[in-house]
């Protein structure tokens, strides 16, 4: 008698596993398709869902100086992490400068786990903000930008970020205080911060602080060492003002429109024109101070950043149809982008008149700080102007600036070259930024310290 075959049992077992897999799939599909109670879809849930795809995670390695690392040169390689916020669908991302400073390869991970290598486009060490860019084959969702002008003490807020490397972490809290000044290290201080008790941890830096309506009202920037539930964020209005300068067509592409703009009083609706450069494209097309720019070539302008975004990526000579509100009327204009008149400017071509402006207005003689000298200061800044002379009783002398200091920033701009200094001093809206805030580095036995103050130039030579 032949032995019974085991093949039917094998087939039966396989079928059972197949049936089990099908049942598991159907149960999972039923769970996915299950209707979720609206009670669970709280405003916080909706706020996060609306913006999570516009928050990215940033990783990279950098070399830092250490005292007890066992290396003769005192340096070591560390893994850095942080968060970024998509502010333009073409892949422009704002983050903290300290997140990407010195990083050899900036790696960006999207919420769908796609990875890209980013390029550092522009930065401002004074305010600790930077713009990076990734090249993506599609349009990215952009964060919903709100305002920090009407924040309420006690209102709920949500922080999203790469906390301790745990990607897309969401924490909640409240606005604890406004207008905080924080010194986080010898080389970095912040003014006018939002204080929150939403847990903000290492890795959250550069991520958004949202209100309960899902609008970004701040950029998370710092935690208080040794304290619990105390975090800080740069107000979004200030961050977007800096982003406008970092992404300006004049700075990135040496193109020129010739307008200084600021947020309209009607928040979220247009860019208010403050001043217009003489013989500029804006002057030629008929823009006037007080106009509110509403639309540029079918792109709605909600704030000054949108104007720069609309013009970015275009060539000089291109024309743009522009809609402005003038008093109670709507006016159609045609703006032709032009090459910047400062194109190709460098320290080598700076004029004596430019040098005299710093002496006359600030009471300073300046020269680019040599790379070796600047490196010895162990600074996070990328360069500065060394003070070679200080005029007695001048504005700088009255604020304690002395020979040997290095000027690294004025107002919201870095001062790496003479051209940077001239840009600030020659601005047509200069009166609006007085007293002029300055940042200097002063050498110490342990590297350097960052000092700041304000220069009052009301009686300067015209």
Respond yes or no on whether the N-terminal peptide bond of residue 222 is cis (omega within 30° of 0): no
In sequence order, the 6+-apart residues with CB closer than 8 A to the CB of 185 are: none
Which of 205, 260, 280, 448 is flagged as catalytic?
205
Instruction: Give per-residue burial for 38-49: e unless 16+ CB within 10 Å, then b.
Output: eeeeeebeebbe
Q: Which residues pair with 13 in a beta bridge?
A: none
Catalytic (active site) residue 128: yes
Cβ contact 310:302 at 8 Å: no
Closest CA to 82 of 66, 103, 65, 63: 103
Cβ contact 237:265 at 8 Å: no
Catalytic (active site) residue 405: no
Q: How far apart are the C-alpha atoms of 177 and 160, rounded to whole Å?
A: 19
Which of 128, 263, 291, 405 is flagged as catalytic?
128
Longest dimension (CA), the chain: 118
Q: How far apart are the C-alpha atoms of 69 and 16, rounded to whole Å?
A: 59
Catalytic (active site) residue 205: yes
Which of 54, 59, 88, 98 is flagged as catalytic?
98
Beta-strand runs (E) in 89-215: 92-96, 106-109, 115-124, 129-133, 156-163, 166-183, 189-196, 208-211
Q: How far apart are the C-alpha atoms of 274 and 102, rounded to whole Å?
A: 36
8-state DSSP, 293: E
Q: How far apart are the C-alpha atoms of 401 and 114, rounded to whole Å?
A: 49
Q: How far apart are the C-alpha atoms of 456 and 446, rounded to whole Å?
A: 31
Active-site residues: which are they?
98, 128, 205
């Amino acid at each position: 008698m032949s032995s019974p075959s085991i093949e039917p049992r094998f087939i039966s077992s396989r079928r059972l596993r197949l049936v089990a897999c099908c049942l598991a799939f159907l149960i999972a599909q039923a769970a996915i398709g299950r209707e979720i109670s609206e009670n669970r879809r709280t405003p916080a849930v909706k706020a996060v869902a609306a913006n999570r795809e516009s928050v990215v995670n940033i990783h990279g390695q950098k070399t830092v100086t250490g005292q007890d690392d066992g290396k003769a040169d005192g340096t070591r390689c560390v893994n850095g992490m942080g968060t970024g916020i998509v502010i333009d669908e073409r892949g422009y991302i704002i983050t903290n400068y300290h997140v990407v400073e010195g990083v050899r390869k900036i790696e960006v991970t999207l919420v769908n786990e796609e990875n890209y290598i980013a390029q550092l486009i522009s930065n401002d060490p004074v305010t600790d903000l930077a713009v990076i860019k990734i090249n993506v084959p599609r349009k990215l969702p952009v964060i919903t930008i709100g305002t920090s002008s009407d924040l309420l003490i006690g209102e709920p807020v949500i922080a999203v970020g790469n906390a301790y490397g745990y990607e897309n972490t969401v924490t909640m809290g409240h606005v604890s205080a406004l207008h905080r000044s924080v010194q986080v290290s010898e080389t970095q201080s912040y003014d006018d911060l939002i204080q929150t008790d939403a847990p903000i941890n290492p890795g959250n830096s550069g991520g958004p602080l949202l209100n309960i309506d899902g609008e970004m009202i701040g950029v998370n920037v710092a935690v208080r060492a040794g304290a619990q539930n105390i975090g800080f964020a740069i107000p979004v209005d200030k961050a977007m003002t800096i982003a406008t300068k970092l992404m300006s067509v004049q700075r990135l592409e040496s193109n020129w429109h010739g307008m200084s703009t600021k947020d309209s009083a009607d928040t979220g609706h247009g860019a208010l024109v403050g001043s217009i450069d003489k013989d500029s494209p804006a002057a030629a097309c008929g823009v006037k101070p007080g106009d509110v720019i509403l639309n540029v070539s079918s792109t709605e302008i909600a704030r000054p950043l949108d104007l720069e975004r609309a013009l970015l990526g275009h060539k000089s000579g291109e024309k743009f149809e522009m809609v402005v509100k003038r008093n109670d009327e709507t006016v159609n204009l045609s703006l032709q982008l032009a090459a910047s008149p400062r194109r190709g400017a460098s320290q080598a071509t700076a004029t004596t008149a430019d040098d005299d402006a710093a002496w006359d207005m600030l009471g300073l003689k300046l020269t680019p700080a040599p790379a070796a000298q600047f490196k010895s200061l162990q600074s996070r800044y990328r360069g500065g102007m060394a003070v070679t002379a200080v005029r007695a009783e001048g504005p700088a002398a009255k604020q304690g600036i002395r020979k040997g200091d290095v000027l690294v920033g004025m107002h919201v701009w870095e001062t790496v070259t003479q051209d940077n200094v001239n840009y600030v001093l020659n601005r047509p809206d200069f009166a609006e930024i007085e007293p002029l805030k300055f940042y200097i580095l002063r050498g110490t036995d342990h590297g350097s310290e960052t000092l700041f103050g304000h220069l009052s130039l009301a009686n300067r030579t015209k």
